[in-house]
Amino acid sequence: MPFVTKQAAISIQFDPAFLKRFRKLSLIVGVLLVIVGLAGAAVPQIMSLVVVIFLGWLLICAGILSAYLVFLSRGRSMIAWLKPVLLALIGTLFLMNPAAGVATLALLLSIYLLLDAFGGLGLAHDLYPHRGWGWMAANGVMSLILAAILLFGWPVESPTLVGIFLGLSLAFDGLALVLIGLLSASDEPSR
């Protein structure tokens, strides 16, 4: 079956006040993300530690909230209490042993990257020979390389690699927001 695309022009109009607020906020948040991301990539072990501690507290809070909901619903079975207990337990383990938490994050990140690589390569195969298939294949290969780096460095290099990967990810997210904020100025209608 041939690959068919239908192109249509879609015009979305935004309120000028909304665009002005969006541009300002995306520039502020984007610059902050770039700064935090580059700082995290510069000191990756600290970045990894901060992320594990944050996730630990997040899991503990989620466990407490989940336990509260089970309590309110008068959960009497042990299965109802399994999720809150596991969330709080995993969060506590992350806080008590951050090195193991970072190693766990490295494994989870490598699994994600492997799935992303196989998905990207599969989509590139489906798109071949149409335009854009090469970019999708390059994305898949890059995800595969990053997953291999994480897996071959695990667990010794986990704090460094997780910090660098997360820091660079935040920096690129921030750069994208900055560019969107700058480019949104050209979307305003001329007066």
Name the token pair of 26.
């995306």
Query: Which of the four pLDDT bands, split at 50, 70 and 90, describes residue 188?
Result: low
Rounded Cα–Cα distance for residues 49 and 34 (Å): 19
pLDDT greater than 70 at residue 191: no
Rounded Cα–Cα distance for residues 175 and 33 (Å): 8
Give tens-digit pLDDT for 116-165.
999 989 988 988 888 778 888 998 899 999 999 999 999 999 999 999 99
Q: Is the model more confident about 133 or about 10?
A: 133
Give tens-digit pLDDT for 99-122.
999 999 999 999 999 999 999 899
| Closest C-alpha among 113, 102, 100 to residue 149 | 113
Count of other CB atoms within 10 angstroms of residue 165: 23
CB 52 within 8 A of CB 17: no
CB 162 within 8 A of CB 48: yes
